[in-house]
Amino acid sequence: MKQDLLTFASWSPEEVKSLLELAVTIKQTPTAYNQVLAGKSIVALFEKPSLRTRVSFDIGINKLGGHMVYLDAQSGKLAGREDNVDTAANLACWADAIVARVFSHETLEQFSSAANIPVINALCDKYHPCQGLADYLTMFEAFGKTEGLTMAYIGDGNNVTHSLLIVGALLGCHQVVVTPAGHEADPSIVSQAQDIAAQTGVKIVQSNDIDAAIGADVLYADTWLSMGDDTPLEAIKDKFMPYQVNEALMEKTGAKYVMHCQPAHRDLEITGSLIDSDKSLLMQEAENRMHAQNAILTKLLGS
């Protein structure tokens, strides 16, 4: 039976841990995996812009011996031309998997039900699982473990927050989520993470008070306005500015490293100088997108 990756919430802690270990192995010994996708074609459909996800999937699939077809749903006018279920069923006639970046999580569920091939979530309104796995791979490399560490996410409760919560809970990493009032993470997804955390012994703290991040090992920032959110920056800037991740906050919390999924907005959610500092893991996270995704592709498509 085919397996999708829409969110890691349905995966066991052991499955995600072994996926992380596979990513480490693939990163260390890429030639051993260079035929995993030989003869296979993967369609990557994007309803939203992308730099890292698009390029890391394309180059990563090539390194596994496979072939990627990029579909830009916006400029190709695919969106709305036919029903999602028909798009997905057609793609499954030729492709071995679908990677999709979409506005609505529901679209992924429609793809999943209509296509008898794996569907991989490349970001939706609720989750960004490939990012989550790459980020914990990066933490694992930086600290030699994920268990018992604390990740403090600071900013808007969004898709990245949700995947960090779920994957972190699965990998034994304590979570602090600090947001301005009214911008909290989705309670139903926090509750999924809490269920996992209860099994793995992870503590999840949510707060509007930035001091909740004191003692964290890593501070994590993301954009204050996600793709598809047309709120003008000026309307939220004053509310979010006290939550900027900067050198003073690194000092105050004692965090060793700073992370950000990128695209980053210098001197808004994170200072440019912190991005460029030796505390920054941003480029390692970007590089690890490819290794994490290649582990996912190997797990879902490798024989």
Per CB under 6 A, residues contacting ligand CP are: 50-53, 123, 131, 261-263
Q: How far is CA 190 from the centre of its chain?
A: 16
- 280 interacts with, out of ligand CP, ligand NVA, none, CB within 5 to 8 A per kind: none
150 binds, among ligand NVA, ligand CP, none (CB under 5 to 8 A by kind): none
* Residue 257 half-sphere exposure toward CB, CA atoms < 13 A: 21
Q: How far is the CB of 289 from ligand NVA (least distance, A)?
A: 10
Residue in 54, 128, 162, 291 annotated catalytic: 128
Is the omega angle on the peptide bond into residue 13 within 30 degrees of 0, that is, cis? no
Supply the minimum distance, in Å, between the C-beta of residue 134 and ligand CP.
8
Output 22 or 282, the one with its CB closest to ligand CP.
282
Query: Rule CB under 6 A: is residue 90 a binding residue for ligand NVA?
Result: no
Task: Answer yes or no: are the C-beta atoms of 197 and 203 closer than 8 Å.
Answer: yes
The full DSSP string for 91-114 is HHHH-SEEEEE-S-HHHHHHHHHH
**52, 54, 58, 101: which is the annotated catalytic residue?**
101
Pair 271, 241: CB distance under 8 Å: no
Smaller CB distance to ligand NVA: residue 110 or 121? 121
- Does residue 163 interact with ligand NVA by CB under 6 A? no
Instruction: Report if residue 87 touches ligand NVA, rule: CB under 6 A.
Output: no
For ligand NVA, the binding residues in 198-257 under the rule CB under 6 A are 222-223, 226-227
**Two structure tokens written together for 190:** 């926090």
What distance in Å separates the CA atoms of residue 137 and residue 140, rounded to the nearest whole number?
A: 5
261 is catalytic: yes
> With contact defined as beta carbons under 8 Å apart, do 253 and 214 qualify?
yes
Structure tokens at 40: 């296979």
Which are the catalytic amino acids? 101, 128, 131, 222, 261, 289
